[in-house]
Structure 1
Amino acid sequence: MSFKIYMLFMGFASLLTACKDDGFQIPVASDKLQNDLIKRSLGPNIVGGTIEFTYAAAIVPEKGKLVSMSVEASIAGAAGTYLENKSYYTSSSGADVGVEIGDPSTTSGKLTEVVFTADTSAATLRYYYKIPEEARGAKVSFKFSAKSSNGETIVHQTEAYEVRRMDMQLDLIAKDAANCYISIADMKTYDASFAAANPGKIDLVYLYRALTNVTYGHSLVAPTADPVYLPSITLPAGLTNRSKIIKAFTVRDQQLARMQYGVFVDDVDLLSKDFDDAPDFAINLRAEAGIWLQTADGKYNAYIYINSVNNATKEMKISIKRLTVK
């Protein structure tokens, strides 16, 4: 019986007791090893990202102690996958407090385990699964288990979680007149010398201009845009990619922003976006806004979120979700 089910049952039993006094007795708590699980991470599961769980197990102290907890993934996690060796509880002030209960976790293939060294009958551990390339476009599930000193073992099998096909890159710095050339294929920013040597990789140019006759500000512009949208810049020769660009002022993706917006750009959003008749420039952009983009060859659709802008240093910090569409 899970902790949630048990508490619901106890609450229902208490309600019956309050309404009826003719010999009803509150059930005795189970003396068997019990467990429960919460998935803490939200949003699409992306290669390189982390799926996070909290796993709890307990047994009546008179019946035994916990000796180990483990997690087996259906697809082995990438480096950085681990089960924390601290048990967490919430203090009276609402803070999470961790208490070490065992040695650091060990991982062998798909299995990650913590062996307990502390004398405890209850623990809540956090598991971090680093999503590997092998899981792209596939589904991954997890088998959590706990063992007690009296020989009992209990298992909690999760559902299968889909790993998206998209890629994600966080916190790139674009700087006017320096690393102002953006490659969606590489999800990197480059300077003019790289752009001149690799013109086919450049999809966007970042510029900051404080103009008197037009509100230009921080802008992302395709190299092919009319020169009026590329003021006071001489582009390296050979930049011919006409990226299609659509402004997006209200798409504050939580994974890119790392703020509690509750909005997530998913594979289906990138795949279904209509770029017909889209322009090749987006001027006067602001922090917490963004753009939808399709590369000139139609290979990638992307969403670029603007984390911050800086007028003094003429910089823009961006984060990207990108899907290969052909």
Structure 2
Amino acid sequence: MQRNYFQYTSLLLSLLLLMTACEEEKSIIPAAKTQLQNDVIKRTLGPNLVGLNIEFAYAMALAPERGKLVSAQVEASIPGAGGTYLETKTYSTNGSGEDVGIVVGTALPTEGKITKVNFTKDTSASTLRYYYIIPEAARGQEVTFNFSATSSTGETVSYQMGPYKIAKMDMKLDLTVTDDKASYISIEDMAVYTAAEAATRANKIDLVYLYRSIPNITFNHALVSPGASAEYLPGITLPSGVNRRSKVRKEWNLRDFHLARLQFGVYVDDLDFEKINLADSPAYAINMRAESGAWVETADGKYRAYIYVNSVNNGGKSARISIKRYTL
């Protein structure tokens, strides 16, 4: 019995200690803050390219009994291009995982670096989207953002984001190349030309697109430097002066998200162009397929590019391509 008594006493003491620990743990939970608070997340991924946007979600709130939101603004270190705006809707996620927006304010005209919204709804909590359209002035620079909000209590809060590096590279989407028609590609211009047009800008033509179905040879869709051996340009009579020899390397399974716009979260960035070594690359890439690509360095060493093949059309002897270009 004495042993049972000690066992019971030990168990009771253990339970009391556990209850005490739980009460102590509860007692240290801090009280909810009622003052104005804010937070920011960056929603866009990958390299920041001129012409594209950087998207943020700016959340701000205070206790309803304390007051309401009056205004929110974002100040960029470099003024955004046209189309930069702070959303006037507050967003929440419904049971299906969809974003639902409700108008809560009015946008003021952007003044230089500052984009602002005044709240018109009686609300104490809001999440606004901010879209910064990257301007040419930011190319190769760094940009920062200062988010801030004001409440009816006179309180203000702010949140700094960045710096974010803006890429040096350029991008051009959805160019159609067609065999024996619009088949001459200029990396400098990021454009496609006919033979007649190519003759007037011979020093800017870097590649020829062609499609060939040759028995016992897998040629099909190809990107070939004008300076390549004639066997890689079957049936092609180059316009006068079109003879530059670019370096070309075929690439598989590099579906850059900006160019492909598919589900793959892969990006070609400035650093990729800086580090790639194309010195021993050939002057052609044959048997190109949809979702393949090619690295290119121009004959004058001025540009490197990544050309992505969005789609091919064997019957039409054509393809749709997109380009990222980096100035060396």
What TM-score do you get using the length of structure 1 for normalisation? 0.91
CA distance in 1, matches of 2:246, 2:21: 69
Decide which of 159, 164, 187 is 1:161's aligned counterpart. Answer: 164
Instruction: Say which SS state the counterpart of residue 210 (structure 1) adopts.
Output: strand
1:283 deviates by 0.4
CA distance in 1, matches of 2:151, 2:316: 59
Q: Which amino acid letter does the alignment assign opposite residue 306 of structure 1?
A: V
Instruction: Say which SS state the counterpart of residue 231 (structure 2) adopts.
Output: helix
Match of 2:22 in 1: 20
Match of 1:174 in 2: 177
1:118-171 C-alpha deviation (Å, 9 max, x unpaired): 121111111111111111111100000111111111100112111121112222
1:104 deviates by 3.4
Instruction: Say which SS state the counterpart of residue 218 (structure 1) adopts.
Output: strand
After the TM superposition, which residues 3-42 of structure 1 pair with which residues of structure 2 at under 5 Å, given as runs? 20-22=22-24, 24-25=26-27, 26-42=29-45
Q: Is the 8 A contact 1:106 1:114 kept in 2?
A: no
Decide which of 174, 189, 194 is 1:186's aligned counterpart. Answer: 189
1:22 deviates by 4.6
Match of 2:327 in 1: 324
Q: Is the 8 A contact 1:83 1:105 kept in 2?
A: no
1:61 deviates by 0.9
Decide which of 272, 289, 292 is 1:269's aligned counterpart. Answer: 272
Instruction: Say which SS state the counterpart of residue 155 (structure 1) adopts.
Output: strand
Q: Which amino acid letter does the alignment assign opposite residue 201 of structure 2?
A: N
Decide which of 54, 61, 65 is 1:62's aligned counterpart. Answer: 65
After the TM superposition, which residues 129-278 of structure 1 pair with which residues of structure 2 at under 5 Å, given as runs? 129-278=132-281
How many residues are paired up?
310
For structure 1, list consecutive stretches of 5 or more residues without a partner in the other structure: 1-15
After the TM superposition, which residues 279-294 of structure 1 pair with which residues of structure 2 at under 5 Å, given as runs? 279-294=282-297
Q: Is the 8 A contact 1:72 1:144 kept in 2?
A: yes
CA distance in 2, matches of 1:89, 1:130: 24
1:295-319 C-alpha deviation (Å, 9 max, x unpaired): 0100001111111112232221211
Match of 1:47 in 2: 50
1:293 deviates by 0.5
Q: Which amino acid letter does the alignment assign opposite residue 284 of structure 2?
A: F
1:179 deviates by 1.5
For structure 2, list consecutive stretches of 5 or more residues without a partner in the other structure: 1-17
Residues 118, 299 of structure 1: alpha-carbon distance in 2 compared, 3 angstrom cutoff: same
Instruction: Say which SS state the counterpart of residue 255 (structure 1) adopts.
Output: helix
CA distance in 1, matches of 2:19, 2:272: 52
CA distance in 2, matches of 1:92, 1:145: 30
CA distance in 2, matches of 1:199, 1:152: 64
Instruction: Say which SS state the counterpart of residue 193 (structure 1) adopts.
Output: helix
CA RMSD of aligned residues (A): 1.8
CA distance in 2, matches of 1:257, 1:318: 9
Structure index of larger Rg: 2
Instruction: Say which SS state the counterpart of residue 21 (structure 1) adopts.
Output: helix
Q: Which amino acid letter does the alignment assign opposite residue 83 of structure 1?
A: L
1:85-121 C-alpha deviation (Å, 9 max, x unpaired): 1111111011111111112352110000111111211
Q: Is the 8 A contact 1:56 1:124 kept in 2?
A: yes
1:23 deviates by 8.0
1:23-45 C-alpha deviation (Å, 9 max, x unpaired): 83343210111111110111111
Instruction: Say which SS state the counterpart of residue 270 (structure 1) adopts.
Output: helix
Q: Is the 8 A contact 1:17 1:24 kept in 2?
A: no
Residues 18, 170 of structure 1: alpha-carbon distance in 2 compared, 3 angstrom cutoff: farther
What TM-score do you get using the length of structure 2 for normalisation? 0.90
CA distance in 1, matches of 2:212, 2:266: 31
More off after superposition, 166-175 vs 151-160: 166-175
More off after superposition, 88-97 vs 309-318: 309-318
More off after superposition, 202-211 vs 279-288: 202-211
Residues 17, 27 of structure 1: alpha-carbon distance in 2 compared, 3 angstrom cutoff: farther
1:229 deviates by 1.2
Q: Is the 8 A contact 1:82 1:105 kept in 2?
A: no
Q: Which amino acid letter does the alignment assign opposite residue 294 of structure 1?
A: E
